[in-house]
Chains A and B, each alone.
Chain A
């Protein structure tokens, strides 16, 4: 049984009817998408800004309420969860954001930021939480000297490692990563991408990996969904997608990637 099953998921936002009262427009951000993700595998969602890939990620984490459709996690309908059961489910699905600078509190040290989720979701003592935070720091490849540093003292790559450590603190089974590499230099992207690959193998993590870069997705993901205007226009195992992209939009995306062979100048 797949860990995550998404069926006919829709999210419509209300358009602004401020200037024309009575004429309300519905904007389909996510327009009926379905997919399944096996435990320990990774689904890449690609597409350009505004195609609904971020909204899809947020819907899966229940940060947004879907207009229609169903999301099942490990067999249970997560849209029906309320109260304490919703709270305890939330530990199992965590998010890594694009811009770690914006998602880390500037007045909290790295150690505090990583230990914070444990204070809400576990019965660990302060000591134990700190101990756990140090382990996580090592797991994402940061030296312990960073434990007492503030986010603004770190480089972009180090901050993203902290963002990942924080997302891992509750031992989630599903990680939704929303463009986690886009704000980083190419060389640092490679380091963080390797970290994602390692964590997937070591922890048998399941990923929803949102990106506009197909080259990155290729190295991490098992299947790729290409989104365009809220719809999934193509969903294929990663090898097949690169060998034989089915949709014209996928081919256009592949063509747009700058290549070292440099075709544009010739």
Chain B
């Protein structure tokens, strides 16, 4: 596995990279929030790299993602944390290019093994999506076809990307299901999604995602709809699949404990921005952003009693995101007067731990 802390020296190289600076989009409010290239958190030899990736609604220019930069290495599991409405799912959907292009404007760059995918034609995307990059969703029932048998749905994903016949696809599908730790794959192949439990459905989704041996899987809250015991099984399975296939995962979740269990590194998002990035242990032991601290404190541990400390309020709607200052200032107990007005700069607080806060903890 890659050392998640390797990014520090790597970041310095990227600093010399001239065209990174060009990626800074001139924009009245947010020009000064441009992350210097050296501050791009990530690892060496990235599989995926985002440079100041921004997303807006075309209709009225509402900002949805603001200059998101990070790298993800081969075989890494990176957690993307934040509450609903922070832009996590949107980021994933936009990375796999599933958003209707006419509705959004995009800025910045997204590199897939060194190539800027934003420049790719649709044809190239179709052969890449589902083959090299796959996605699994929170509620498997809504992504499985209710009138198709499971076997046919796994085989479909295989036949779309591999030149195999019906029979061979079926046997590959069976293998994929076995790899996803399904006890009796032959029987499951003939069943319909409604006959399966939630955990089994999520295993089918994983089997479909893994069927073409992708390099990266975007997992959007894959365990949130499941019971704790089933959640534990799916997390174990993700770790095993990473070992066996070397695939990377971008795991989207609002549960820091899930991140603690499986992720190598984690990014914390708030109001369309990444606000903290660090190795998991580092992030959980010494969170520096007040938002991360609030999220951690609000987790009911197994040893506490009584009321929990909470973050007051809720994530604003995108139209109310405050990008003139720190997006979290409105809910932050430690907010200074300037927090609402000046965008906080990225600061390196050591060992590849980056935080965007005027007064980090």
Complex interface residues of chain A between 243 and 266 (CB less than 8 A to chain B): 252-265
B302 touches A187 (CB 8 A): no
* A33 interface residue (CB < 8 Å to B): no
* A155 interface residue (CB < 8 Å to B): yes
* B245 interface residue (CB < 8 Å to A): no
Interface size classification for chain B: 35 or more
Instruction: Write out, one digit per residue, whether chain A residues 142-179 have a CB within 8 A of any chain B CB (1) or not (0).
Output: 00000000000001111000000000000000000000
A125 to B221, CA, bound (A): 46
A265 touches B262 (CB 8 A): yes
| Closest chain A CB from B37 CB (angstroms) | 30
* B228 interface residue (CB < 8 Å to A): yes
One of A214, A215, A264 near B262 (C-beta < 8 A):
A264
One of B284, B300, B305 near A190 (C-beta < 8 A):
B300
A48 touches B229 (CB 8 A): yes
Question: Taking chain A's interface residues, is the majority helix, strand, or loop, or is none over half, making it mixed?
Answer: helix
| Closest chain B CB from A143 CB (angstroms) | 11
A155 to B317, CA, bound (A): 10
A260 touches B308 (CB 8 A): no
One of B262, B305, B314 near A157 (C-beta < 8 A):
B314
A258 touches B255 (CB 8 A): yes
A186 touches B254 (CB 8 A): yes
A219 to B299, CA, bound (A): 11
A218 touches B305 (CB 8 A): yes
B261 touches A263 (CB 8 A): yes
Chain A neighbourhood of B84, CB < 8 A: 155-156, 185
B235 touches A187 (CB 8 A): no
18 more A-B contacts (CB under 8 A) besides A190-B300, A212-B228, A258-B235? A50-B197, A189-B300, A190-B309, A191-B298, A193-B307, A197-B307, A215-B299, A215-B300, A215-B301, A216-B300, A242-B302, A253-B228, A256-B232, A260-B296, A261-B260, A262-B261, A264-B235, A265-B262
Interfacial residues, chain B to chain A (CB-CB below 8 A): 83-85, 197-198, 227-232, 235-236, 239, 254-258, 260-262, 264, 280-281, 284, 294-296, 298-311, 314
